[in-house]
């Protein structure tokens, strides 16, 4: 897939989804180990279900965030930059779930020599329930414009550096 230029993007457009799963306890365990997150709700079924009254062990919030980061970095490709992303944890996900990360363009704006595109994003399970709604802003090059700076500096957009 060709990386989009700012002019290629339309408000209302859906970006290609990224599907992961079905999730297994092995996914949850590997992720917990790679992050050293030893919260028992991620690996101790009895603790999760009996002590915390959860339906099963929980898929990690940060695993879900990575899927949504990957959704956007895949879409903007090597020429764009994922600048900001935010998520709200509204729903739980458990082993057995298949997760579909999606994004929809809600705004686009020329900023300096570049373009900023704002998206609504989310992560639905196989029943279509939205569990992790959020927003993201990506910076894209204009068709005949300069490359997006790397490393990325928001000063290039004429905004104050974080």
Partner 1 sequence: MEIQVPDIEKFLAGLVGPVGKPDTMAVELGAVRKMAKAVEDFDPIHYDAAAAIARGYRGVVAPWPLLWLFYFNGTEHSIDFPFGKATVHGEDEYEFHEPVIVGDEIAMQMVITDARLKQGRSGPLGIVVEERRFTNQLGALCAVLRTTLIRR
Which parts of this chain interact with partner 1 (CB under 8 A)?
A: 20, 27, 30-31, 33-38, 61-63, 65-67, 69-70, 78, 81-89, 150-154, 161-162
Closest to partner 1 by CB, 7 or 61: 61
- What are φ and ψ of residue 107, in 5° steps? -160, 150
CB of 107 to partner 1, least distance (A): 17
Please state the closest distance from residue 37 (CB atom) to partner 1, in A: 5
Nearer to partner 1, 7 or 135 (CB): 135
- Residue 70 C-beta: closest distance to partner 1, Å: 5
- CA pair distance 23, 93, nearest whole angstrom: 9
Residue 64: alpha-carbon gap to chain centroid: 7
β-partners of residue 14 are 104
* Closest approach of partner 1 to the CB of residue 58, in Å: 11
Say how far apart CA 5 and CA 16 lie, in whole Å.
15
**Tokens 């020599």 label which residue?**
113
Q: Closest CB to partner 1 among 12 and 151?
A: 151
| Tokens representing residue 34 in the block | 């790679």
* Closest distance to partner 1 from the beta carbon of 140 (Å): 15
Question: CB-wise, 7 or 62, nearer to partner 1?
Answer: 62
As given in the structure block, the two tokens for residue 65 are 């965030």
Geometric angle at alpha carbon 60, from 71 and 30, rounded to 5°:
90
CA atoms of 96 and 156, how far apart (whole Å): 44
Q: Please report where in the chains the tokens 């879409």 appear, as a residue.
A: 75
**For partner 1, the closer CB: 7 or 106:** 106
């Amino acid at each position: 897939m060709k990386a989009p230029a700012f002019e290629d993007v339309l408000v209302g457009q859906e970006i290609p989804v990224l599907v992961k799963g079905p999730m297994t306890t092995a996914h949850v365990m590997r992720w917990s180990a790679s992050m050293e997150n030893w919260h028992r709700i991620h690996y101790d079924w009895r603790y999760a279900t009996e002590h915390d009254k959860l339906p099963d062990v929980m898929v990690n919030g940060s695993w879900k965030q990575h899927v949504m980061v990957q959704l956007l970095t895949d879409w903007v490709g090597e020429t764009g930059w994922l600048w900001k992303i935010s998520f709200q944890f509204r729903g739980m996900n458990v082993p057995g779930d298949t997760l579909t990360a999606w994004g929809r363009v809600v705004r686009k704006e020329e900023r300096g020599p570049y373009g900023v595109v704002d998206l609504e994003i989310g992560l639905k399970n196989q029943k279509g329930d939205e569990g992790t709604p959020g927003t993201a802003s990506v910076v894209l090059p204009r068709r005949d414009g300069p490359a997006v700076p790397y490393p990325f500096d928001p000063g290039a957009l004429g905004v104050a550096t974080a």
